Structure 1
C-alpha cells in the first residue's frame, strides 16, 4: 500500500511533464503524441496529392511548348521537355478565333463580376437590415431558389422574350446573382456590430454612406471571396454561350475550348482562325500543342488571381456562413 502511494506522485509528475511537452509543441493536451508512421506518412501523402495535381499541369504546359518532332517522338503528350518553342502561343495570340475569344471572355468576366458583385452587395445589405422593406418575403424567395431551379426551357424562353438572344448580355444577366453568395454576404453583414451603424445614422449618414464608409471597409474579405467566385464562374462558363449565342464570332474562350478540344472539331484557319506567323521564323506548332496551349491560356488567369484571394477564404466564407 505504501509502495503504491509512493509511486503515484511520480506517475502524476510524469503526466504533467508530458502535458507540458505537448503544450510547448503546440498540441492540445488530449492529442496523442505522433508516431513514426504518422510523421513519415503525412508528408508522403501530401507529396502524392501535390504530385497528382501538379503533374497533369506540367504535362499540359510541356506539351504546349513542344515541337512537332517532340510530340511525334512521344506519341502524344510530352513528359520530358525537348526542343521547346512558343510557336503554339504565337499562332493562337497572333489574331483569330482564340485571340478574339480571349478578349471576349476577359471583358465578360470583368463586366459581369463588377455587375454581379454590385447587385449582390446591395441586396445582401438590404436583407441584412431587420427593418428593411419586405425583408422576410424577399429572403424566402432567395432561399426558395436553392430548392427549385428555373430549368433550361423556361430560362431560354425568358431570355428570348427579353430580346437577349445572340447578345453578350445573355451571358451575364441570367446568372447575375448567386443565392449562395448572397446568403454568405448577408450573414457576414449581419455580424458587423450594429452600434457602428447606429452611430453613423446619428451623425446623419444615409444608407449608401453607411454601406460605403462602414460596411464595405469591414467586409473586404467576403467581398474579395465572393468576387473571386463570380469571376471564376464567368470565366469558366460556356453553357449560356452554347444556348444563347448563334454567332460563332461572339464565342468566349471556354466555348472555343469545348469545341476544339472536347468535341475535337477543327477551328477555321486564315481569317478569324488559328493563323500562321509569317513575320516570325517559327515552325507551325502541331495540333496537340495548340490544344494544350488553349488549355493553359484558359487556366492561367485563375491560377494568377487565386493566391491573392486565398488568405481571405477562411474569414470571408467560413465566418460568413456560420453567423446569422
Structure 2
C-alpha cells in the first residue's frame, strides 16, 4: 500500500482565519514574483548599458578617424569635428592614391599575406595533428621544444644572422618564413584535434584501408573547418599588419609591404612639415595640414580591406574562438 504525500497546508496564526492566511500567502508570492522580475529587468538594463558603452568606445575612434580624414585639419584641432566632418576635403586620399608606392606596396602585401597565410596554416595543421597523435614517438619532447621557444628567444641579431646565412635577405621568404609557425596557434590546433577527432574514427578508417595521409586530408580537414577558418583569419590579420620583418630584412623599396610604405610616407610628411624654415609660416602651416590629412587617410587605407573582409568571416571566426577551450 503506497502512501501519497499530502500537500502542506498553511497553518494560520492564532486568531487569523484560513482565508486571511491564504490572502497573506498569496501576497507574499506576488511580492517575490515582482521582486524577481524587477531584479531581472535591472540586470538587463545594466548589462545593456555596459554593452552599449563598450560598443561606442570601440566604434567611435574608428568613426572619428574616418571623418577626420576628410575634414579640415584646423577644424580637427579646434575640436569642431566630433560627430560630423567639417570642411570636407579628399586631398589626403588623393595624395596617397596617386603615389605609385602605394599600389606597389599593396601588391606586395597581398603576396606576403596570401603566401604567408598558406605556409603558416599548412604547417600548423600538419604539425598540430602529428602532435595530437598519442602514437607519435617523442611527442612530449617535441612539444617541450616548441613551448621553450615561447619563453626564450635568440634575439634580433641571431635571427638576422640566420636569415643572412640562409641567403634569404631581400627576398619574399625573409618576410614569410621566420614567423611562419606560432606556437600558441599550434597548441590551440593540437587541442582541437585531441578533443574533436576520436581515435575510433581513425581506427575505422584504417579498417577500410585508409592510410594516415588519406585520413588526414579526407576526414580530419573536412571536420576542422572552424579551426581552419580561425587560423586563416588570425594569420591574414597578422601578415597584413606586419612590417617589422620587412624593415629588417628588405633593402629594396620595390619589395616593401603597404604598412612599411605608409610608414615611410608618414615620416616623410612629418619631416617636410618640421623642416620648413621658421620665417615661412604659410609654408609650415600648409605642410602641417598635408601631414595631418595624410596621417588619418593612411590609417583608413591600411585598415579598410580587413574591415571589409572581417564581416564575411565573422560566423566562422566566432565559432572557432572556442576551439581548444577547457570543457
TM-score normalised to structure 2 length: 0.77
Measure, in 2, the Cα distance between the counterparts of 1:259 and 1:45. Answer: 40
**Which residue of structure 2 aligns with residue 301 of structure 1?**
305
**Which residue of structure 1 aligns with residue 262 of structure 2?**
257
Report how far residue 117 of structure 1 moved: 0.5
Alpha-carbon deviations, 1:216-257, whole Å to 9, x = none? 111111111111111111111121122112223322122233
1:129 aligns with 2:133: yes
1:105 aligns with 2:109: yes
Whether the 8 Å CA contact 1:184–1:317 is kept in 2: the answer is: no
**Which residue of structure 2 aligns with residue 120 of structure 1?**
124
- For the residue of structure 1 that corresponds to 2:40, the secondary structure is coil
**Which residue of structure 2 aligns with residue 175 of structure 1?**
179
The count of aligned residue pairs is 293
Q: Which moved further from structure 2: 54-63 or 121-130?
A: 54-63
Whether the 8 Å CA contact 2:93–2:297 is kept in 1: the answer is: yes
Measure, in 2, the Cα distance between the counterparts of 1:93 and 1:109. Answer: 21
Report how far residue 295 of structure 1 moved: 0.6
Structure 1: 4+ residue segments shifted above 4 A: 4-9, 262-267
Report how far residue 112 of structure 1 moved: 0.4
Whether the 8 Å CA contact 1:238–1:254 is kept in 2: the answer is: yes
What does 1:233-244 align with in structure 2 at a 5 Å threshold?
A: 233-244=238-249
**Which residue of structure 1 aligns with residue 162 of structure 2?**
158
1:310 aligns with 2:319: no
CA radius of gyration, larger in: 2
Whether the 8 Å CA contact 2:266–2:291 is kept in 1: the answer is: no
1:247 aligns with 2:252: yes
Aligned residue among 61, 70, 73 for 1:71: 73
What does 1:1-324 align with in structure 2 at a 5 Å threshold?
A: 2-3=11-12, 10=25, 14=29, 18=33, 33-34=39-40, 36=42, 38-66=43-71, 70-75=72-77, 78-79=81-82, 80-82=84-86, 84-191=88-195, 192-261=197-266, 265=270, 286-322=290-326
Query: Measured at CA, do residues 145 and 317 of structure 1 come closer, stay the same or move farther in structure 2, by a change above 3 Å?
Result: farther
Whether the 8 Å CA contact 1:63–1:288 is kept in 2: the answer is: no
Whether the 8 Å CA contact 1:62–1:81 is kept in 2: the answer is: yes
Query: Measured at CA, do residues 162 and 2 of structure 1 come closer, stay the same or move farther in structure 2, by a change above 3 Å?
Result: same
Measure, in 2, the Cα distance between the counterparts of 1:75 and 1:233. Answer: 33
Q: Which protein, 1 or 2, shows the higher relative CO under an 8 Å CA cutoff with sep ≥ 6?
A: 1
Whether the 8 Å CA contact 2:75–2:86 is kept in 1: the answer is: no
Unaligned runs of 5+ in 1: 26-31, 268-284
Whether the 8 Å CA contact 2:270–2:291 is kept in 1: the answer is: no
Measure, in 1, the Cα distance between the counterparts of 2:181 and 2:208. Answer: 33
Question: CA-atom RMSD, angstroms?
Answer: 3.3
Report how far residue 171 of structure 1 moved: 0.9
